[in-house]
Each structure stands twice: as C-alpha cells, then as structure tokens.
Homo-oligomer: A and B are copies of this chain.
Amino acid sequence: MAWYEVKGNDADTVVSTRIRFARNLAGFRFDKGLTADDARTVIDRVGKALGEADFTRTDFDKVSAVEAQSLVEQHLASREFAAKKGPRALFRNDNKSVSVMACEEDHIRLQCILPGLALRDAYRFACECDDALDAALDIAFDEKLGYLTHCPTNLGTGLRASVMLFLPAIAAEGGIPSLARQLAQIGLTMRGLYGEGSDSRGCLYQISNQVTLGLSEEEILKKLEDAVATVIERERALRRAVSGEDAERRADRIHRAEGILRYATLISSEEFFDHFTDIKLGIALGLVTSISDEALNALLIRCLPATLTLGAAKPPESGTARDRLRAELIHNAWEV
C-alpha cells in the first residue's frame, strides 16, 4: 500500500506531511555545470548509498512521459525534475513514503511524505535516510553556511517542511489571502496543491517554511507545527459555526456530490476535484460514511490523467474514454 492509501492523524484537515532535504556531493559541479558523465556517477553513488535493494530506481531520461507525469502526480518527482534533460533518476521505497531525486536542481533531493499530520515522524524517517547518505557520501557542507545548495533559498539546513491542509471553510469565507499574508509574516509560505504557481483545487493548501538558513531544524519544525495547529483550529471552528439552513444547504451540496460521483459515468479531472472537496468535508462532518477518507485521498492521485492511464488495463484513447475510466475508478472506491 502506498502512503496515500493509509489513514493519517487529523485527517479532517490534513492530507499529508512532507519533509525534504536538499544535499549535494562535494567535488561535483552543481546543476547545469554537471556533465552527463558526472551526473551518472552521482546517480549511481546515491543509489548505492541508499541501498539498492530497498529502493526502486526510475531513470527519468529513459522513462515514458506518462510514467514521469504519474510520479509527479504522486508527489514523488517535481515538475522541474520531469521537465529537465540529461541523466537523472528517482529512487523510492516500497510504500513511496521515502524518495530521492538524484540530479534535480541539487544532486540530492530527499523527501519523506506521510499521510495526515506527522511532522515528527516524517522528519525522523527523512533523517534516517539522510544519515545513510551522509555516512556513505561526501556531502558538501560549510561550517558557517551549513549544507551547500544550488539555490541560496535552500542553504543551511536544506530543510523544507510542509503540510498539505484541507481548508474548505476558510476558503468559503474568503479567508485564504489574509491567512497567506499572516503566514508570510512569520516566514511561512502557503501554496496550492502542486507547489509554486499552482492553483488551489480541492481547497488543498500547502504550508511550508520559506527560510532554511539561520534557524535550527527544530525551530523550523516548531514554527510550522504551531502555525498548522492554529490554522486547523480555525478551520474546525468555522465548520462548526455553520448552522440552521446554511448547514442544511451544505449537507445537500455534500450529498449531491456523493450522488454525482457514484452515478455519473463520465467524470473529468476538474469535476472530480470540485466534488472531492464536498465529499471530504462530508466525511469530516460524518455526513458521508460510504467511502473512507483515505480511499478518497487515494482517488485524488489515482484520478489524475497519467496515473489513471497507467492504472488502466488498456490505455484510454480519447478524453471520453479517460472520463469513463475515471468514473469507474471512483465507483470502485465506494465500499457499498
């Protein structure tokens, strides 16, 4: 089972938690300065350091476009990593919770992603993997600056901690822009589902630390943890505050979304996202009991075009065929 098929903590408001470290090998040039031969050497060394037995390697200069796109959809590879040229590889463990991009912008982009709110666990697993790499490889490190990275925004700890939140009530009252400003003032960034520049489909918002330098890893985690706790409380309070006819209209909207997802035979990716929001809120409110939150979260990934295509017995040959396949996948996710 992939990490996204498992129930996490605070699932009513948190979809997933991610810890990412940026690392580079000493003695190799960074990013575009790296020759293809050197890139291959870096990839092989990273693979060996991780322990090839526990990780699946995918060479992105050889992989099909649809497979690469599916790995992006699963949050295992960045869009930039999929789009760039030259030798580069993704290593991932069995449940896809720990993965390493070799030769992305940095030589090493290590991440641990877990369901629900799990900052400490994700940090611990990421550190274990980082320790293994550190023990086996000569990592570029400066006593004063900390870990050296291609982009100065990652200097220092090289740590990016992020939490994917589900905030339909804050979004409904138009509170997202002001929340983003408040978070920016304390050095946190709020973004849409697929990172920088992406929109906020499904009322999913990612909060992460902006600064990696001048703060300890513990300070970064603590700040994010506190901010997330506050946002979660606000979201929950707003949900609880809905009453009377407003609550009845919300319930109606939720049940309609359930009816459509269970009955429609053609469903576009965009439409799924719209209904996802209502169903997920319905599960949190106890109004929808016919599908589990983790099954719904898994659909969030499985319904995306490339992952959908890869999961099919026969690749869909038209938009309609894809919409039909998506509807079947959704029907199957329901338990009764």
Contacts and interface: CB of A to CB of B under 8 A. Distances in A.
Nearest to A265: B252
Contacts of A262: 259, 263
How many copies the complex holds: the figure is 2
Contacts of A263: 255-256, 258-260, 262
A191 B255 CA distance: 36
A248 interface: yes
Interface residues of A, number: 20
Contact of A252 (B245, B256, B266): B266
Given A245-B320, A248-B324, A320-B245, A265 B255 contact: yes
A301 interface: no
A249 interface: yes
Nearest to A264: B256
Contacts of A259: 256, 258-264
Q: Could you tell me the dominant secondary structure of chain A's interface residues?
A: helix
26 contacts: A245-B318, A248-B265, A248-B266, A249-B266, A249-B320, A251-B265, A252-B264, A252-B266, A252-B327, A255-B263, A255-B264, A255-B265, A256-B259, A256-B260, A256-B263, A256-B264, A258-B259, A258-B263, A259-B259, A259-B260, A259-B261, A259-B262, A259-B263, A259-B264, A260-B260, A260-B263
Contacts of A266: 248-249, 252
Most chain B CB neighbours (cut-off 10 Å) among A249, A255, A324: A255
Interface in A196-255: 245, 248-249, 251-252, 255
Contacts of A258: 259, 263
Contacts of A318: 245
A265 B318 CA distance: 35
Contacts of A251: 265
Contacts of A261: 259
A209 to B, nearest CB: 41
Question: Which are the 10 A-B pairs with shortest beta-carbon distances?
Answer: A259-B263, A259-B259, A252-B266, A255-B263, A252-B265, A256-B264, A259-B260, A245-B320, A255-B265, A258-B263
